[in-house]
């Protein structure tokens, strides 16, 4: 099982913005039902993309500054960063197929 990196404000720059790999960040919150539904999908993606894409999770309640910086208004929001820049985003629960369709051009 692939571990999903837990991000915080302090680690965001080194783990996401300076990453040589593309990074999918799952902006989430513990109280969010769609986030809980999305979690196993994100874990499957982490396994599928192991070694090619870094998959990380950021709790918006504890890291509101990062969420605001990227205009995350709702959770879950998935943002794909390539070369430190956000290139794609999906908000709300998404199927694995939809995530793959939207992100695979960049990974």
* Residues with a known catalytic role: 32, 35
Nearest 10 degrees: CA dihedral of 56, 58, 59, 60?
Answer: -150
Cα 22 to Cα 83: distance, rounded to the nearest angstrom: 7
E strands of the chain, at which residues? 5-7, 23-28, 54-59, 77-82, 85-91
Tokens at 62, concatenated: 């504890």
């Amino acid at each position: 099982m692939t571990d999903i990196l837990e991000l915080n404000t302090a680690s965001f720059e080194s783990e996401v913005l300076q990453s040589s790999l593309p990074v999918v960040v799952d902006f989430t919150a513990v109280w969010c039902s769609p986030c809980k539904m999305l979690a196993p999908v994100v874990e499957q993606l982490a396994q599928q993309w192991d070694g090619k894409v870094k998959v990380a999770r950021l709790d918006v309640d504890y890291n509101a500054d990062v969420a605001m910086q990227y205009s995350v208004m709702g959770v879950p929001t998935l943002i794909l960063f390539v070369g430190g820049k956000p290139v794609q985003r999906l908000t709300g629960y998404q199927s694995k197929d939809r995530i793959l369709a939207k992100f695979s051009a960049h990974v």
